[in-house]
Amino acid sequence: MSKRIQNLLVAFIIATSMTALFQSSHFELMKTSLFHIPVIFLIMFILGTIIAEDVRNAFKKVLWFEKRKDQRPVWQVGIGMIFYFAQIGFVEVFMRGVMHYNLGGMPLYLVISFLNAFLLTVIFEEIFYKNDSHAIEPYKVKNK
């Protein structure tokens, strides 16, 4: 179930990235929408679901995920990155009006996406990450 969710989010990131890239172009064909959903988003989402597993595996190979003794930190960063970019893509494609708000010069949607990604990573880890070797051990006090 965890891999399916990750693959769908990666496909969503691919689709929103390509849609946001082509929405600013001068080609009207790229701006057509169906029920307020850009057609290019639908096409790229379908194509993204096909290649999402390969994209995830490529990142695992680049980051030497399988060779690491402690895979948990890289896993957390990867999941957090997926959540972060999925939220940013959602705002850039479906909620462009929210992009104008700032928090001291920083776009507010970036700040909120970062905070949400952190919380979602913690929740996702509690639900799906199963590795008993990293269980918290009780502290042992040395007697002098």
Q: Print pLDDT tens along the chain (144 aa).
A: 778 888 888 899 989 988 888 887 777 777 777 777 788 888 889 998 998 888 888 888 887 777 878 777 777 778 888 899 999 999 988 888 888 888 888 889 898 999 999 898 888 888 877 665 555 556 667 776
- Under 8 Å between Cβ of 95 and 50: no
Tokens in use for 46? Answer: 């379908």
Tokens in use for 137? Answer: 């051990």
- List helix spans (H) across 63-107: 72-94
Q: In whole angstroms, what is the distance from residue 123 CA to residue 135 CA? A: 17
